[in-house]
Chain A
Amino acid sequence: KQEVTQIPAALSVPEGENLVLNCSFTDSAIYNLQWFRQDPGKGLTSLLLIQSSQREQTSGRLNASLDKSSGRSTLYIAASQPGDSATYLCAVRQGNNRLAFGKGNQVVVIP
């Protein structure tokens, strides 16, 4: 069974620092990996999707990399801002369109 891990569960960074969030998964037979953002009490917002054949994806200040063979993905957020405070989840897509989710990194950016 696929297991997705995000460590640490919570972290704080000063405003302006680059954020680095890690996601690891146990089964490398994935179709894609998706990063989401979740604000308290809200649904998930899709940030980036990396196909299994890709190494990275970029959108504005966000960059996500994927190393499928080692079962790892990293989300970089450049020059963090207080508005980046949220929980970030990664999810890997397996067969049958199912996603396996990590439990998230709760991020606080300190002004």
Chain B
Amino acid sequence: DVKVTQSSRYLVKRTGEKVFLECVQDMDHENMFWYRQDPGLGLRLIYFSYDVKMKEKGDIPEGYSVSREKKERFSLILESASTNQTSMYLCASSLEGNQPQHFGDGTRLSIL
């Protein structure tokens, strides 16, 4: 069965902190994605990666960076957390080609 694991379900951080969100998949998928989901705005793509050390900006990359040093792990970094980054963060992965994306359970991040 497909498994995408996000390291935390809930996280509370302070403004200005550097925040790391981790995502691990066990399916040898090439593609990995980070989204945020906000009421009324739906899911928006932050960054994605199609291979180790490769990354591409999504629709809202400002204030975020990513790291993919190993195929199975994709990290989202909030360089200096701000209150407008309070949100639900979702990680997903997929095989190459026309295969479905599989999602983790999400991390509910609150920035105080």
Contacts and interface: CB of A to CB of B under 8 A. Distances in A.
A25 interface: no
B105 A42 contact: yes
A34 interface: yes
A86 B103 CA distance: 16
A58 B94 CA distance: 21
Nearest to B10: A41
A96 interface: yes
A71 interface: no
B27 interface: no
B26 interface: no
A89 B103 CA distance: 13
Interface stretch (A11-19, A72-80, A97-105): A97-105
Contacts of A101: 42-43
Interface residues of B, number: 25
A91 B42 CA distance: 11
Nearest to B108: A41
B111 interface: no
A50 to B, nearest CB: 10
Nearest to A35: B100
Chain A residues touching B, majority SS = strand
A60 B103 CA distance: 21
Given A98-B45, A98-B58, A44 B98 contact: no
A26 B40 CA distance: 20
Contacts of B41: 103
B105 A43 contact: yes
B55 interface: no
A93 B95 CA distance: 13
Interface of B: 4, 6, 31, 40-43, 45, 48, 50, 56, 58, 90, 92, 94, 98-106, 108
Interface of A: 31-32, 34, 36, 41-46, 49, 51, 89, 91, 93, 96-99, 101-104
11 contacts: A32-B98, A34-B100, A36-B103, A43-B6, A49-B100, A89-B42, A97-B50, A98-B48, A99-B43, A99-B101, A103-B40
